[in-house]
Amino acid sequence: MNIICVSRGSRTHGREFAEALAAKLGYRCIGREELFEEAVKRRIPVGKLETSVVMRREPSEALSRELEHYKALAASMLCEKAQQENIVYHGRTGHLLLPGVDHILKIRVVLDLESRINLVSEKLKLSHRKAQQYIESIEDDRRSWVRRFYNVEWDVFTLYDMVLNLSEIGVGNAAQAACAMAQLPEFQPTPASERALEDLLVGSRCRLRLAEDERTRKLSVRVRAGAGTVHVTHPHGAKKGVADIPLVLGAVEGVRKVVCTAAETSILWIQEAFDPEGASYRSVMEIAAAWDAAVELIRFTPGDGETVPVTEPEPPAPGAPSAWRETGIIDDEDRSFDDESSDLSRLYARLIGDGKAGRKRALAGSRKTLLNAIDRDTSYRLIVLDGIFLDKGESTRKRLLTEWSNAITETVKVPVLSIEQIVSRYRFGVRQAVGMVACGLVAAASVWAVFHFQEPILGFLGREGMKWRILATAGVALFVPFFAQMYGTFTHSLLKLFKFD
Amino acid sequence: MAIITITRGMKSGGDELARELERRLGYKCMGREVITACARKYNIMEEDLYEKLTEAPGIWHRMTREHSRFLIYVKCALIEAALEDNIIYHGYAGQLYLGGIDHVLKIRLEAPMEVRVANMMDEEEGLSAEEASALLHKADENRRRWVKFLYDKDWHDPALYDFVANLGKITMKTAVGIIETLIESGEFATTPRSVSRLEDLLLESEVQAAFAADDRIWDQKVTVSAQNGFVTLRGLVKARKLRNMLAETAEAVKGVKRCDAHISLSSDSLRGGIFGHD
């Protein structure tokens, strides 16, 4: 069914717009208040959640779990209603509750500040200044809420398909314009988007059930569902409640299989071909060992298409800190790009042997395919992107690699490095050793010189006269950063050598 | 009938949108023509003017306010063009100069960075993606600083625009269709009141331009408001002579029926007026 999400600020006529739009289209109109009422009925402390955001307090662990609880409830309610009928939802960036559902029409409505101040002033009998403070304070709180919930800035245009300013455009005409948009093919459901909605519904129902069951409500978990298989990620070392997860979720509608995994920090390694015996493996493993991170592999073949091949599910490797099973069916073709003798499998086997195996996937497609394949729920500390576009020339390869790295960093907000960059940043090699020794010698020589020539230096610094003072200041201004750079480089290299960094 | 202004980042498809709207609505498209007209009218090098519009002012320019002088001229030229009605302006700061005029539909076009980079690389041969991206980011930052410095507004504030279209999801054709719908709704139709307001705005700008042309008075902190040919000046100056010059210059502008100068003298000049001379 069609979904329209209207994001609105306080006193922007957003509710009237959403209701007018729903009336024109014959859709059901749902407001954020409905979600709140249901949350209160289920004893989710929404008041406390709002207060912790408003007061800019870091939430306690319990409150963070309640935040997740609320999100799961909101997502499941929206998904259920969207499956039953066409809806217009109005609230704060509601579409962010439904990631991966591509047919949502995302609209933001705004009103100029002066009009909003006048509305508040009239309604609440406040002076102009106090009304302005009130509006600005509410906007600030909303901004913080969206930032806390979704880690995005809600003013950014690219979050929405269109923004309408109701200062100049009447609610009726704005709704008319939005009606036209809603009927475009881009905003009609597709089999893929409907599957995404179904997966979100199952996932959020599971999350909700875990939050409401006495046995599992104190667990901090991440839940992801795909075609009936539910992956639940719990903290490494958590014991209480973990064994009950499959029992609690077994009765949830739409669940066929439950997979529980201990969460780890992960490194995502993406290449077109892997060499299990190569130096790259050693570089990545050194970092993984230092961070106690699992290494997740994606063998990616760049192309123009958007199809994502299926990887076959496999049993968890013995002793692996976090073994995943992937059964999400994105398209109807069953094409496996992986077999036991492939470079991917051999490298994976090596990771298992070293106790650092995450999961592995073989994919092909465009940059968008890769971006969609990167799991937003996994806490990647680093993404290694190297060795792709092997059929292109050197300069083209470098350019494309840089473009893709920037796109991934911007989208996923995780650092992306090549193998070479990892070596220079994290590993300690000959070049780093030479640099450390050279900087150490220069720093030591500077210290020796300062102490050895103390008197002349003090004499120079203390000389009377404007000219000498200027020279002394310039001298100090030049020497101090130079020494800091030498000493800093030496110390940084030393820490890298002993892996303290 | 209406005026449409299009604001966008570099290489976001603003020109294409303007041309398509021109074809669909039969309006006249204007961009660089306004700069050319302005340069001719005020006897300025067109390239100098263009540079002032594209580069955010540095420290020297902030001190000398050179930018402000040129921008007053551009504002005049733009408002003159706007009085022709049925125009699509896709140049600089249209939404800021024509703010407060009811029959102006202010559009902002947003395109994903990868699309803009691709457009840039198509148009500029030999440019790498990295270089193109760096240039676009720099251009966006320049524009943001320019708008902030001159108008104390956030270029990214959605309230500055009537309609923002994100070309990441919707097509150019869809954006054109929505704009047509908004125009046909009549919300942005020209009315006698809105034309009158535009004429007042033109008169205010021409008085400001007259001040800008005179080094002796152009940097005085005086506001100009106009209504139906009656101009009011408000502010503070240091000397009576300056007050008189401002009033005379305003009265000499074509279209000014009367000028009321509610300009006070600053306290320094009052002291000087008693014990010294001004």
Fold of the domain built from segment(s) A3-189: Rossmann fold (3.40.50)
**Residue for token digits 């400001």?**
B208
A150 near A67, Cβ under 8 Å? no
Question: Closest-CA residue in chain A for B169?
Answer: A161
Helix (H) or strand (E) holding A196: helix A191-212
**Averaged pLDDT in 10-residue chunks for chain A of 501 residues:** 91 92 94 90 85 70 80 92 94 88 93 90 91 90 82 83 92 92 91 91 93 86 85 70 89 88 79 86 84 84 56 40 31 39 78 72 84 78 90 85 86 86 74 88 93 89 88 92 93 78 54
CATH architecture of B3-184: 3-Layer(aba) Sandwich (3.40)
Q: Which amino acid is at A291?
A: W
Q: Which of B68, B186, B65 is nearest to A169 (CA)?
A: B186
CB of A249 closer than 8 Å to CB of A234:
no
Q: Which CATH architecture has domain A266-426?
A: 3-Layer(aba) Sandwich (3.40)
Helix (H) or strand (E) holding A115: helix A113-124
CB contact under 8 A, A184 and B174: yes
From the list A354, A341, A51, A328, the residue with the least C-alpha distance to A192 is A328
- The residue behind tokens 């306010």 is B65
Residue B60, pLDDT score: 59
Per-residue CA distances from A355 to A189, A260, A283, A344, B112 (Å)? 43, 18, 16, 16, 41
d(CA A224, CA A260): 11
The pLDDT of residue B80: 87
Query: Which candidate, B226, B221, B201, places its Cα nearest to that of B211?
Result: B221
Tell me, yes or no, if the two domains B3-184 and B214-275 fold the same way: no
Pick among A168, A179, A389, A395 to test the B interface (most B CBs inside 10 A): A168
Q: Which residues of chain B are under the pLDDT cut of 70?
A: 53-66, 267-278
Of the candidates A106, A111, A157, the beta carbon closest to that of B110 is on A157
Q: Using CB atoms, pick whichever of B106, B130, B181 lies closest to residue A399.
A: B130
Distance CA A190, CA A188 (A): 7
Task: Give Cβ neighbours of residue A167 (< 8 Å, ≥ 6 apart).
Answer: A110, A111, A112, A115, B159, B162
Domain limits, chain B: 3-184, 214-275
Which residues lie below 8 Å from residue A254, measured CB to CB, with a gap of 6+? Answer: A198, A201, A202, A205, A225, A228
Q: Look at residue B234 in the predicted model and tell me its pLDDT.
A: 93
User: In the prediction, which pLDDT does A147 show?
Assistant: 81
Assigned token pair, B20: 């398509």
Mean pLDDT over the full length of chain B: 83
> Which residues, 6 or more positions from A194, have their beta carbon under 8 angstroms from its beta carbon?
none
DSSP code string of B114-136? HHHHHHHHHHSTT--HHHHHHHH
Alpha helices in A251-278 (DSSP H): none
End-to-end CA distance of chain A: 51
8 Å CB contact of A403 and B130: yes
CA–CA gap between residue B3 and residue B84 (Å, rounded): 9
Q: Does domain B214-275 have CATH number 3.30.1340?
A: yes
